[in-house]
Amino acid sequence: MNENIVLEAKGITKQFPGVLANDNVNFDLRKGEIHALLGENGAGKSTLMNLIYGLHHPDNGEIFVNGKPVAIHSPNDSIAAGIGMVHQHFMLIPVFTVAENVMLGDEVTKRGSLDRATVAAKINDISRQYGLDVAPNAIVGELPVGIQQRVEIVKTLYRNAEIVILDEPTAVLTPQEAEDLFRIMRDLTARGVSIIFITHKLKEVLAVSDRITVMRAGRVINTVNPGETNEAELANMMVGRQVILTVDKKDREAEGEVLNVEELSVRDQRDLETVHNVSFSVRGGEVLGIAGVQGNGQTELSEALTGLRHPTHGKVVFDGKDVTGKPPRVMTETGLAHIPEDRQRHGLVLAYTVADNMALCDYYRFPFSQRGVLQPKALDEHARQLINAFDVRTPSPFVSAGKLSGGNQQKVIVARELSRAVKLVIANQPTRGLDVGSIEYIHNEIIKMRDRGVAVLLISAELDEIMALSDRIAVMYRGEIVAVVDAKQTTREQLGLWMAGAHAETAQ
Amino acid sequence: MQSEKQSGSLTRQILQSISEASLVPFLAILTAVIVGGIVILFVGGDPILAYRGLLQGSFGSTKALSETAIWATPYIFAGLAVALAFKGGLFNIGAEGQLAVGAVVSALIGYALPEWLGFDVPAIIHLPLVVVFGVIMGGVWAGIVGALKAYTGGHEVINTIMMNYIALNTTSFLLNGVMKDRSPTNVIARTPLIADSARIPPIFEGLRVHWGFVLALLTAFFIWWLLTKTTLGFQIRTVGLNPDAAKYAGINVKRIVILTMALSGMLAGLAGVIEVSGLNYRHELGFSIGYGYDAIAIALLGKSHPLGVVLAAILFAAMRNGATRMQFLTQMPVDLISMLQAFILLFVAADAIIRYIYRIKSKGERVVLTRGWGG
């Protein structure tokens, strides 16, 4: 056995009710390497990491740390074994300082009170040693997301982790912040830390990792070196078939204005103004993409445009009518299709059948309802048509939506929304967390709507998605639209700068 | 062929879902009976004899059946009230108060209307008025709580409890004051007897069971139809299961919250009306021995399904009714019944115990009875 191997998982099998999440998985991590674990949602990456981190227990197989078998029953065991994990959703308390967050769960006290000075000194040591700049006394909630992520990494190093698991670390970062993270990752490995990098983004994997392991449907498909592969090959391994990575989109003249937003301001539930003075318009037959790092006001903007939230200022004109602050029913009846950001919270009633969900916005109209009584036959027939037309994989229309996979749940929503006679589609993160096949499908449906002359407002934090689908791109930063450009006349790098807050003097 | 196969599997699915839904309540009852038996043994009684007494007293004769049906009637109405609110995502603890205001108003219309008008009102007009006013009163009482929830975010659990205090104390004030039976012999806080034209007649000569029981069964069927077959029911269930999706779908969530509470209160009010009009022929302070609270247990045991509510109501009624016979046979105190009911409820609410004892795998679908503050 190679003595350089710091972590090894052998023959790991984990069965969840109805799913074989890990099927005889072998995985190893060498000292000082970045080993990327690539796979679609549901491929079993998270399950494997949760087993290594002690959140679940394998049915079969063994885990070795530094060549010795270890029994990991809880995160405490894995921390003791020198394994640290940075979760996709940070486990930080925003009102605490960096030092307080770092020592949380392992508090250092002096005569019964917290010894912040000792902890701060140790954090400064770690910062210097690994090139991770953080101020121990800063309040975490006031730090940018990229720095919060550093705090998470410092937390693992503070606990003497030699193996760090990063779960989808770039999902919340701008391209520039991601570059910073990659630099930190290389610094860490140069100092002997080993990193497992979980992601589904092909470009990043090729850019930063030493080895790449691809998982699909609970199994390890292959482990390759980045120099000997390319994006297309990795995508094929992930999906198990040939994938077209670009969307086939023909040029087309935009038509008349469908949506016009003037000086719109919106407050979130904490009463903070997260959208200020935003103005733009979307025309028929064009896709306007709104790019931006998550949490820059996109959620509130789309809620205000779909009737879920009252704007505090400004005007929304849809199809020639002033619809500012009008409820969702009015918006739907004016011709809005809304693919919501959070499909399980807004888009579906998980306990309802697929058929009921497919009529969620139309249940009260003919033919689904007559004189206040639901018409099961009409609901059933409608559902069967949409299941066929949109290729929803479900055993029957009577299965509850909660039992479908994420991709098929999203297809239920897309089918429901795009099958109506609509003039405007607002799609917020329409492919988040979906497999490549579903992403392809949904992208094509969106382009079909555009080609039919429908106006499309696409909000997404995935720059690739924005660039592939949009005719024009608006960049949102801290609640404002900082630039609007023609999609053909811009680059990833330029958009990345705007997303990070650079001003748009250079924009045309 | 294909569709036949599918419909066959659909029937099987439905049967399966019914047996799955009723499994835990059934095992909860069984376990409560066993635990209750152990308690009886422990205090030196004979559990077999006690349970035989309970059965005889509740189902052993025509009279016993009639009395069980009488007990079951308010339980069904009030249980439906709580169950309907659960379906809409609301926890109506105020059935007791809604029942009381419904009873007071129906009693008032029942005895005072002929006096006000100065002539006897025919039953065909009088009885419906008694029912309608009582029901409306219950609906308004609960609807206020719904409006408070919808417009101020005030939680319905707190507000229904507060409305209970207001309802019960106002009732007491009225029954001791302006509405008190003025006949010289009366010292109790109760209304005069209602007019004959305001009374629901018995079904059979010589038995007390009245048409209110039939009305309760019909109402249960109606509520099932309303919830599962109508657009309004769809709205209520959507708001109950996922208020965010309901808003997204264009449902006026505030309106539905108020309406659900009002409907729930109407059903609870109906429980009060029927007790006055079908059984007691007057309203008396303390006539309701916690129907409104037992209703919560009944809705839980019945899994908020109207048929489940009817069965649970009959079970609770049988236990209450059979208790006297049990006491006569075994000298076990009637309070034993309250203990049994508490055990049943405990096992239903903490169903993990039942799932653990009988090794039932959880499907991971939990019943959410009420949402957090604010909604």
A308: nearest CB among B232, B247, B251: B247
Which residue range is the domain that position B266 belongs to? Answer: 75-301
The confidence band for B13, taking pLDDT boundaries of 50, 70 and 90, is: low
Among A294, A293, A301, A300, CA closest to A261: A301
Q: Are B115 and B258 in contact (CB under 8 A)?
A: no
The verdict on residue B55 lying in a domain is no
Nearest CA in chain B to A369: B231
Among residues 386-445 of chain A, which lie with CB inside 8 Å of chain B? 396, 398
pLDDT in the model for residue A500? 78
pLDDT in tens, B98-148: 999 999 999 999 999 999 999 999 999 999 999 999 999 999 999 999 999
pLDDT in tens, B142-162: 999 999 999 999 999 999 999
Distance CA A153, CA A101 (A): 12
B250: nearest CB among A17, A332, A369: A332
Residue A25 and residue A86 in one domain: yes
pLDDT in the model for residue B21? 77
- Cα dihedral A325, A328, A334, A339 sign: positive
A347: nearest CB among B6, B238, B245: B245
Angle at A48 between CA A43 and CA A54, to 5 degrees: 145
The verdict on residue B194 lying in a domain is yes
B362 Cβ under 8 Å from any chain A Cβ: no
> What number is the average pLDDT over the span B4-28?
72
**Between residues A307 and A493, which one has the greater pLDDT?**
A307
pLDDT in the model for residue B23? 86
pLDDT in tens, A114-154: 888 889 999 999 988 888 888 899 999 888 888 899 999 99
Q: In what order do the strands lie in the sheet with A273-283?
A: A273-283, A257-267, A311-318, A321-322
Tell me the count of A-B CB pairs closer than 8 A: 67
Contact residues for B206 (Cβ-Cβ < 8 A; gap 6+): none
Residue A128 and residue A11 in one domain: yes
Among B267, B258, B113, CA closest to B195: B113
Which alpha helices (DSSP H) does B275-334 contain, by range?
A: 291-301, 306-330
CB contacts of A306 in chain B (<8 Å) are 248
pLDDT > 90: percent of chain B:
72
pLDDT in the model for residue A291? 93
Q: Which of A239, A266, A298 is the last residue of a domain?
A: A239
Among B213, B264, B334, CA closest to B96: B264
pLDDT in tens, A399-448: 999 888 778 899 999 999 999 999 999 999 998 877 777 888 899 999 99
Mutate which: A310, A323, A360, A398, vs B, most B CBs within 10 A: A360
- Cα dihedral B274, B280, B283, B285 sign: negative
Mutate which: B10, B232, B248, vs A, most A CBs within 10 A: B248
> What number is the average pLDDT over the span A445-464?
93
pLDDT score of A386 more than 90: yes
Q: How far is CA A146 from CA A127, A164, A174, A297, A478, in A?
A: 15, 17, 8, 18, 15
A349 Cβ under 8 Å from any chain B Cβ: yes
> What number is the average pLDDT over the span A215-238?
88
**Maximum CA pair distance of chain B?**
78
Among residues 216-245 of chain B, which lie with CB inside 8 Å of chain A? 229-234, 238, 241-242, 244-245
Residue A232 and residue A252 in one domain: no
Across all residues in chain A, what is the average pLDDT?
Answer: 89
pLDDT in tens, B174-198: 999 999 998 888 888 899 999 999 9
Domain tally, chain A: 3
- Are A349 and B365 in contact (CB < 8 Å)? no
pLDDT in the model for residue B287? 67
Residue A310 and residue A349 in one domain: no
The confidence band for B1, taking pLDDT boundaries of 50, 70 and 90, is: very low
Distance CA A127, CA A93 (A): 20
Residue A177 and residue A234 in one domain: yes
The lowest-confidence range among A170-184, A299-313, A494-508, B236-250 is: A494-508
Q: Measured in whole angstroms, how far is the alpha carbon of residue B108 from the centre of its chain?
A: 23
**Between residues B354 and B95, which one has the greater pLDDT?**
B95
Write out the two tokens for B54.
């309970």
- Helices A406-418 and A436-451: angle between axes, nearest 10 degrees: 10
B44: alpha, beta or left? (left if phi > 0; alpha if psi -120 to 50):
left
Distance CA B122, CA B144 (A): 33
The verdict on residue B237 lying in a domain is yes
> At A499, which CATH number?
3.40.50.300
Write out the two tokens for A330.
């009015």
> What number is the average pLDDT over the span A222-228?
92
Residue A351 and residue A488 in one domain: no
Domain tally, chain B: 1
A280 Cβ under 8 Å from any chain B Cβ: no
pLDDT score of A40 more than 80: no
pLDDT score of A243 more than 70: no
Residue A124 and residue A197 in one domain: yes
Contact residues for A208 (Cβ-Cβ < 8 A; gap 6+): A34, A36, A182, A185, A186, A197
- Are A361 and B249 in contact (CB < 8 Å)? yes
ipTM of the complex: 0.84
Q: How far is CA B74 from CA A451, B103, B157, B278, B344, in A?
A: 62, 11, 22, 11, 20
CB contacts of B365 in chain A (<8 Å) are 351
pLDDT in the model for residue B369? 46
The confidence band for A110, taking pLDDT boundaries of 50, 70 and 90, is: confident
- Are B6 and A351 in contact (CB < 8 Å)? no
pLDDT in the model for residue B332? 84
Residue A311 and residue A382 in one domain: no
The confidence band for A238, taking pLDDT boundaries of 50, 70 and 90, is: confident
CB contacts of A351 in chain B (<8 Å) are 241, 365
Nearest CA in chain B to A376: B229
Strand partners for A289: A458, A473
pLDDT in tens, B260-287: 999 999 999 999 999 999 999 999 987 6
The verdict on residue B23 lying in a domain is no
Give the pairing type, strands A287-291 and A109-110: unpaired
pLDDT in the model for residue B9? 64
How many other C-beta atoms can be found within 10 angstroms of the C-beta atom of residue B178?
A: 9
The confidence band for B16, taking pLDDT boundaries of 50, 70 and 90, is: confident
Which residue range is the domain that position A186 belongs to? Answer: 5-239
Q: What is the nearest CA distance from A390 to chain B, expressed in angstroms? A: 21
Helix (H) or strand (E) run with residue A264 in it: strand A257-267
The confidence band for B6, taking pLDDT boundaries of 50, 70 and 90, is: very low
Residue A351 and residue A500 in one domain: no
Residue A29 and residue A120 in one domain: yes
Q: What are phi and psi of A370, to 5 degrees?
A: -130, 125
The lowest-confidence range among A233-242, A394-403, B241-250 is: A233-242
pLDDT in tens, B330-374: 888 888 888 998 999 898 888 888 888 888 765 544 444 444 433
Residue A384 and residue A323 in one domain: no
The verdict on residue B288 lying in a domain is yes
> What number is the average pLDDT over the span A143-171?
89
Q: How far is CA B207 from CA A141, B194, B210, in A?
A: 72, 20, 8
> What number is the average pLDDT over the span A369-396?
93
pLDDT in the model for residue A176? 82
Angle at B318 between CA B315 and CA B323, to 5 degrees: 130
The verdict on residue B41 lying in a domain is no
Residue A490 and residue A501 in one domain: yes
Across all residues in chain B, what is the average pLDDT?
Answer: 90
pLDDT > 70: percent of chain A:
97
A82 Cβ under 8 Å from any chain B Cβ: no
Helix (H) or strand (E) run with residue A291 in it: strand A287-291
